[in-house]
Amino acid sequence: MKNKEYRVYEVKTKKTHTFSIAVIICGLLLSISVCNLVSFMFFSNGIDFVSGKQRNANNFYAVEVNSFDTYDDAYNFATTLQQKGGAGYITYNKKYKVLSSLYLTYDNAKSVADNIKGEYANACVYEIVLPEIVVPDDITKEQQNAITTSFAVTKSAIATMTNIYLGLDKGEMQDTTAHTMLTSLYDECADQVTSIKTAFHSLDTATYLRHRMYLTDFASNLAEISTINLSGIELSQIIKYQQIKCAFLYISMANLFQ
């Protein structure tokens, strides 16, 4: 399953002097026996020492199983990972990174990454940041609402897909229920495609045409997994793959308004 490569927006590594200050603060906290110390999070592209509880709600956390210098090596590894039920999604950020699943919290992703380190020593947490949407103020209220709603529905769909595949993996949800939920998500996203087309029918600028294109792709991904004929492939694996792909589609849409 060779996937499209979408650009990953990096979490910037803090500067050295900031890190030193953080160390001093942590030492002070230890000296006065404060129990709730700041937990340090490690990501594939550096260290970010903001507590998980304080992180922006727009952040999602993927499990990065391994990374490679060449796409072919990453693809071969991803194919094997998919056979074991992982997403096997490949993205590029300094290296070709293979992602297996996406979670709503850092702790959940970290727990999974730690559990598979025995088999995959390089497993770690990869943070995916969904940018804040800056809606243009030189368009109508209808157009502003169409943009805001489409992004909200898209982000909600990504989160819902997490709950669906977790339910499937734990045996708490049947395939038929998952298909029903996915079909509902598709309908919501398809409605947003129509809404964007209606709101911007007389304003076919490049930005809104591309926004519509990405939104259409997102809806198509949901349609694909809600109507797919399972042929020896686990539905949860397909959802994991498409969910991560949809997260990067969201980033591509959001980048149009930055």
pLDDT by 10s per residue, the chain, length 258: 444 343 333 333 233 343 333 333 334 333 323 333 222 222 233 223 233 434 556 789 999 999 999 999 999 999 999 988 899 999 998 999 999 999 999 999 999 999 999 999 999 999 998 888 888 888 889 989 989 999 999 999 999 999 999 998 889 998 889 999 999 999 999 999 999 988 888 777 888 888 889 999 999 999 888 887 665 568 888 999 999 999 999 999 998 887
* Residue 38 forms part of a structural domain: yes
* Residue 90 forms part of a structural domain: yes
Last residue of a domain, one of 73, 100, 129: 129
Residues 147 and 241 in one domain: yes
Structural domain total, the chain: 3
Last residue of a domain, one of 32, 48, 64: 48
Residues 174 and 77 in one domain: no
* Residue 106 forms part of a structural domain: yes
Residues 95 and 118 in one domain: yes
Residues 73 and 43 in one domain: no
pLDDT score for 157: 93
In sequence order, the β-bridge partners of residue 93 are: 95
Residues 112 and 164 in one domain: no
Residue 233: both structure tokens together: 């492939």
Q: How many whole angstroms separate alpha carbon 96 and alpha carbon 73?
A: 9
pLDDT score for 2: 41
pLDDT score for 32: 29
pLDDT score for 50: 32
The CATH number of the domain holding residue 102 is 3.30.70.1070
Residues 211 and 237 in one domain: yes
Residue 22: both structure tokens together: 């953080």
Last residue of a domain, one of 129, 152, 171: 129
* Residue 2 forms part of a structural domain: no
- Coil, helix or strand at residue 207: helix
* Residue 10 forms part of a structural domain: no
For residue 22, the enclosing domain spans 16-48
**Contacts for 118-122: CB closer than 8 Å, 24+ residues apart:** 120/65, 120/66, 122/64, 122/65, 122/66, 122/67
Residues 197 and 170 in one domain: yes
95-103 and 124-129 strand pairing: unpaired
* Residue 242 forms part of a structural domain: yes
Residue 133: both structure tokens together: 């949407």
* Residue 5 forms part of a structural domain: no
Residues 188 and 150 in one domain: yes
Cβ count within 10 A of residue 163: 12
Q: How many whole angstroms separate alpha carbon 196 and alpha carbon 215?
A: 9
Residues 160 and 235 in one domain: yes
Q: How many whole angstroms separate alpha carbon 141 and alpha carbon 145?
A: 6
pLDDT score for 56: 59
In sequence order, the β-bridge partners of residue 128 are: 60
* Residue 168 forms part of a structural domain: yes
